[in-house]
Chain A
Amino acid sequence: MHLEWTGIVALSAAVAAAVILVVYLLRRPPLGLHVKLWLLLGLGVLPFITAASSTASGMHRTTERSFCGSCHVMGGHYRDASDPASQSLAARHSRNPFFGKESCYVCHADYGMFGYALTKLGGLRHVYKYYLGGYDHMTLEQAEREIHLVKPYDNRNCRQCHTTTAEDWRRVPDHVSLEAELGRNEVSCASAGCHGYAHPFTKSAPRDAAPAPAKTPVTSVGGHR
């Protein structure tokens, strides 16, 4: 178990508050000003610190790949992305230190000013679908066949790193000829005709229909534009 500093702050404040409250409940001193101030610390200040830091810790935790993989329907995605031998787009990006342990979030978070908040709101839909929408009863095979993205993957997420203005990018004739379609999301960077599916095992199409992924694994963001 790895704790972020926010988690350590949350636990420390929770323990300190609990000590104050338990001592009060056991001793039951008269409610004078001194006791009220201690209770303000134990019921107001320290719990507020716990709430704020545990929220920060929880929000950070939701960006980690292991968090996404903790739902069984994402087991295949998680294993493939974490597999050092896999050549899928997701696995190659996950090996990049820029994506690292947060590769699901980095690729799937909406780009833009409100991207973080919108992504978290979208995550609540995943929770609803999992616990109340029947996903938790699905087998992994069924989930991989039936669960799809709610909207087409936005190419802007790829273009956060793979800028379309770089000379290397423009040197590829297909990039230039499809620039307008890519901008309108009519053609996906992660499609069979281009860079291959991010999670190819979820596609029913035969694997040899997709172009072979790059032979050299991506080692840095700048190395594969």
Chain B
Amino acid sequence: MTLLRRLAHRSVRELVRLSCLLALTGLAIMAYSVLSGKPLPVILAMSLGHLVGGASFACFLLAVCIDGIRRDPARQGKSSEPGMPKSL
């Protein structure tokens, strides 16, 4: 099972929560680099901080997309057709 499928199976609420936690981690790394100004924190902020922040935003976008698809009545109608599994 790919990561995307795994994420899609998780609820939107969980994804948003994960996104918030990742964002808080990334923000903490970046804020610490500004306050500390030492080489390692500055490099970590520019690499790991940006990576975690990007992952957080990607999770949020994914959650919004999944939420949008779930709320889309046309797709809901399709997925409720007889013979089609509900998970689709």
Chain A contacts to B: CB under 8 angstroms: 1, 3, 7, 10-11, 14-15, 17-18, 21-22, 24-25, 28, 31, 36, 39-40, 42-44, 47, 50-51, 54-55, 57-58, 61-62, 67, 70-71, 127, 130-131
Contacts and interface: CB of A to CB of B under 8 A. Distances in A.
Count class of interface residues, chain B: 20 to 34
A224 to B, nearest CB: 32
Contacts, number: 94
By CB atoms of chain B within 10 A, which of A11, A31, A54 has the most? Answer: A54
Contacts of B24: 18, 21-22
Nearest to B59: A43
Contacts of A42: 20, 23
A18 B27 contact: yes
Interface-central residue, A15, A55, A131, by most chain B CB under 10 Å: A55
Given A11-B31, A44-B57, 4 more contacts: A14-B27, A39-B19, A47-B53, A70-B38
A7 B12 contact: no
Interface of B: 12-13, 16-17, 19-21, 23-24, 26-28, 30-31, 33-35, 37-40, 42-43, 45-46, 49-50, 53, 56-57, 60, 63-64, 67
A51 B49 contact: yes
A54 B30 contact: yes
Contact of A7 (B17, B34, B43): B34
Contacts of A130: 39
Contacts of B53: 47, 50-51
Contacts of B45: 54-55, 58
**Best-buried of A21, A28, A42, A67 by chain B (most CB within 10 Å):** A21
A36 B33 CA distance: 29
